[in-house]
Amino acid sequence: MLLAAILMTAFACTPVQQDVPGGEQPEDETPAAPAPKALVISASVDGKKIPSGGNLGGVSLSPVISLTFSREITEDETSLDAVTFSGGALSVSRDPSNTSVLLLAPVQQLEPLKKYSLSIVAGECFGVNLQKEYSISFTTAPDDATDKFPRIPDEDLLTLVQEKTFGYFWDYAHPVSGLARERHGSGDTVTSGGSGFGIMTIPVGIERGFITREEGAERMRKIIGFLGEKAQRFHGAYPHWLNGSTGKVIPFSSNDNGGDLVETAFLIQGLLAASAYFDAEGEADIRSGIDAIWRGVEWDWYTRGGQNVLYWHWSPSAEWAMNMPIRGWNEGLIVYVLAASSPTHPVSAEVYRDGWGNFTFPVAVNQPLFFAHYSFLGLDPRNLSDSNGSYWEQNVAHARYNYDYCVRNPQGHAGYSASSWGLTASDFPGGYTASSPANDHGTIAPTAALASFPYTPEESLSALHYFYYKVGDRLWGTYGFKDSFSLDRAWFASSYLAIDQGPIVVMIENYRTALLWNLFMRNADIRAGLDKLGFKYE
């Protein structure tokens, strides 16, 4: 009995060997160990880090996408089923210097200026059990390798840019008033300051052969007639916006429904330059009409009762509620020059000295570049100086700082370079802003670099080449360069703005021939005003 029990126990603990066809015996079916838990802890594209859920701009068309896991992973192409990429098939490899890093690359070259997304779902993949989904997106750079338009001589390109941009003020002018629409699509809304810039493009258009002198003179008669007889004025000053058909004010804001002295100054600057240009005997009516408008501006009213400072706004309903003294450094220098130069309602030199401010140049060079443009479309900065210093050196330093900042690109925005630069007020993907090194949203405005041609000719030419030849298929349109672009998001504005288009035409011409500088500085009232304020200008 004992022997039988022993034999039965042995038989029960020993597996019975079964014959298997072919003589092979099955292996033990031991359950596989679970994959170790892991997370994707960082990602980069072309070596630039990008946060989970974030977007990176300016990525190459053949990028390498790097995902760093919290532990070692395996190189497993079957695990690509866990990866979704909007750009198609991917190749996979492991970083030979770090076994926790997975390298993914699109099999086909990507399209330029397009947003792509990549995600990896939670679960088992690449030898780990991924605990959390991970996703990124990126936007590819332009195709800089190919020109979008045939190369032409630089002088011809400058003329082409001026001609197309001039079209905004000539072909797209308001049909009743002849004034500049505030922006493309603004209908009856015309802008007083932008119209002043547009008026200054008319002598350029004549001199460059875009229109005849007779056509230019007739347009000026339409503009002057509207401004002198129909447009609302508030102690001689025009509002920021007008209805181009009726001449009635269009409020810029609830309390800004009256005179805007800065916008008026931009308008008067343009009118005085045009008056100097239309000097023929048969054009006396143009000169007299402009003179009447000039004499009608009550600059001294805007000292708000005799203060030693000029105020930006006055409203017939809200009076001085805007409460904005014009103090520098900003675009307002031309206001004080005109106010001091007025033959009928001048302000004293003390208003300039106490109101505008004393500076140590260079000043505010981290601010938008329009500070170096708007007052200096007619006011010639080349030999201009006073107790503050040289205005030419100030403006050159401002443009140079803007350029250098974009080359340094401390925020890492896509597309900033020695050939793609210029921060100023413009549209941007979130609306409208005054971009600058102190307020940088990654948006380049062509007007910034192109209106800086007198100050930075080589750098501005490089930018012109980039804007036209490299991204011109997106940026160039009916009225020249569109307002702005951001390569962070492959975003290109569809808009044209009068205050951005005008300085392009005018400042390129000042760079080429000094036409508008010479016209404006010819005015005897202006020269007397500059003398009164203690400026040197010759």
Using 50, 70 and 90 to split pLDDT, how confident is the model at 52?
A: confident
C-alpha torsion angle, residues 354, 356, 360, 363 (rounded to 10): 160
Mean pLDDT (whole number) for 479-502: 98
Given a cut of 60, whether residue 2 has pLDDT beyond it is no
Cα-to-chain-centroid distance, residue 286: 36
Mean pLDDT for the stretch of residues 513-525:
98
* Top-confidence residue, 510 or 20: 510
Question: Are the beta carbons of 484 and 441 closer than 8 angstroms?
Answer: no
pLDDT at 510: 99
pLDDT in the model for residue 30: 65
Contact 265, 320 (CB under 8 A): no
Q: Which residues are CB-contacts of 326 (< 8 A; sequence separation ≥ 6)?
A: 261, 262, 309, 310, 311, 312, 332, 335, 336, 355, 356
Residue 43 token pair: 């990602």
Distances (CA, A) of 326 to 25, 261, 329: 95, 9, 9
Residues 346, 530 contacting (CB under 8 angstroms): no
Q: What stretches of 297-390 show up as alpha helix (H) in DSSP?
A: 333-341, 349-351
For the cut 70, the answer to whether the pLDDT of residue 18 exceeds it is no
Helix (H, G, I), strand (E, B) or coil at 249: strand
Which residues have C-beta within 8 Å of that of residue 195, sequence separation ≥ 6?
179, 180, 223, 267, 270, 498
Q: What is the pLDDT of residue 6?
A: 32
Tell me how far the alpha carbon of residue 244 is from its chain's centroid.
27
Q: Read off the pTM.
A: 0.92
pLDDT above 90 covers what percent of the chain?
Answer: 92
Would you say the C-alpha torsion 148, 153, 155, 159 has a positive or negative sign?
negative
Whether the pLDDT of residue 15 is over 90: the answer is no
Q: At what angle do helices 333-341 and 524-532 cross, to 10 degrees?
A: 100
What does the pLDDT read at residue 54?
A: 77
Mean per-residue pLDDT of the chain: 94
In this structure, are residues 121 and 85 in contact, taking their beta carbons and an 8 Å threshold?
no
- Residue 491 predicted with pLDDT over 60: yes
Q: Which residues of 62-100 are buried (b: 16+ CB within 10 A; e: fewer)?
A: ebbbbbbbbeebeeeeebbebbebebeebebebbeeeeb
The predicted-structure confidence for 362-421, as pLDDT tens digits, reads as follows 999 999 999 999 999 999 999 999 999 999 999 999 999 999 999 999 999 999 999 999
Domains of the chain: 37-140 (2.60.40.3710), 154-381+388-532 (1.50.10.140)
- Return the pLDDT at 28: 55
DSSP label of 32: P
The answer to whether 239 touches 257, Cβ cutoff 8 Å, is: yes
Neighbours of 26 (CB within 10 A): 7
Which tens digit of pLDDT belongs to each residue from 95-144? 999 999 999 999 999 999 999 999 999 999 999 999 999 999 999 999 99
- Confidence class for position 53, pLDDT limits 50, 70, 90: confident
Residue 7: its pLDDT value, please? Answer: 32
CA atoms within 13 A on the CB side of 500: 29
pLDDT above 90 for 32: no
Q: Which residues pair with 389 in a beta bridge?
A: 386
What DSSP element (H or E) covers 425?
A: strand 425-428
- The distance between the two most distant Cα atoms of the chain, rounded to a whole number of Å, is 144
Judged on CB neighbours under 10 Å (0-12, 13-18, 19+), 508 is: buried
